[in-house]
Amino acid sequence: MIELHEEFIDIYNEIESFLRNEYSSSKQNERIGHTSLIYQSSNENPIIKQYKEDLISFARLRNAIVHSAYESKPIAEPHKDIVSKYKDIRDRILFPLKTWDKCIKNIYSCKLSSNLNLVMNDMKKNVYTHVPVVNDKGFTIGILSENSLFNCILKEEIFEIEKTSTVELIKDYIGINDYDEKFYFLRKIDKLTEVYKIFENAIKNRERIGSVFITENGKMDNKIIGMFTSEDIAGQSI
């Protein structure tokens, strides 16, 4: 049976190999130490960034096990809970979650033929800020929001929305490029880290993200099968 310290070192070696292959392409980088490589890769990989401090602590423990042995025996034996946590972090790094694993899958959408008042009431009741407008194939043709209605009323000088009015009434104000916010599309097989990168870059660039939508091909001309908002990923582990 493999000893805990042996399993711990095996995990370290797997992570080390991954980091070297992914983030150490030049000969100069090949000489970078494990801890420096963690710092370097954390700038590109949100998972490593999230677990950076743990990875550095575990690297120090590994060094104590390997370099401070007494009569070929390690002076430190990691607790099984530590090994389990290290294993979990390794799996998250080597086998990252996909967008499909964490996205909201029950998507509320409407069509141009949908009753506008009912849709707006549903949005208010469920606190939906943006609702995809889809065609008969389920493909996105626009995004409905309260601003869509407000802009339409303002520019078209509409003073009352009839009970029978449909989304068709504001079709000229639901264009996906007509918003201050940006909308992104990713594939269901894309890494979950791509979602985090989008929101992190938006913060850096002071951009507003409406939603990140998930489709099979990662494009707008496909049925939306999932979505993320900033609230959905806040506080989540990757």
Token pair, residue 159, equals 């003073």
Write down the pLDDT at residue 71.
61
The closest alpha carbon to 236, from 102, 107, 65, 139, belongs to 102
β-pair partners for 108: none
Write down the pLDDT at residue 226.
96
Buried-state track 102-132, b at ≥16 Cβ within 10 A, e below 16: bbeeebeebbbebebeebbeebeeeebebbb
Mean residue pLDDT across the chain: 89
**In sequence order, what are the residues at sequence separation of 6 or more whose Cβ sits closer than 8 angstroms to the Cβ of residue 193?**
45, 46, 47, 96, 238
Write down the pLDDT at residue 76.
74
CA angle, residues 212, 119, 188, in degrees to nearest 5: 25
Q: Which of 51-60, 168-177, 186-195 has the lowest mean pLDDT?
A: 168-177
Write down the pLDDT at residue 231.
83
pLDDT digits (tens, 9 = 90+) for 46-93: 999 999 999 999 999 998 888 766 666 767 789 999 999 999 999 999
Write down the pLDDT at residue 180.
78
Q: Which of 129-133, 221-225, 231-235 has the lowest mean pLDDT?
A: 231-235
Q: Which of 20-34, 178-192, 216-230 has the lowest mean pLDDT?
A: 20-34
Kindly indicate the confidence band of residue 100, based on its pLDDT and cuts at 50, 70 and 90. Answer: very high
Integer angstrom CA distances of residue 69 from 63, 75, 96, 236: 10, 5, 34, 39
pLDDT of 214 > 90? The answer is yes
Place of tokens 């033929």: 113
Q: What percentage of the chain carries pLDDT values higher than 70?
A: 92
Write down the pLDDT at residue 190.
98
Q: What percentage of the chain carries pLDDT values higher than 90?
A: 63
pLDDT of 28 > 60? The answer is no
* Domain locations in the chain as residue ranges: 4-95, 101-233
pTM: 0.82
pLDDT digits (tens, 9 = 90+) for 108-120: 999 999 999 999 9
CATH topology (fold) of 101-233: CBS-domain (3.10.580)
Write down the pLDDT at residue 30.
64
Say how far apart CA 16 and CA 31 lie, in whole Å: 12
pLDDT digits (tens, 9 = 90+) for 129-168: 899 999 998 899 999 988 888 888 888 887 678 899 999 9
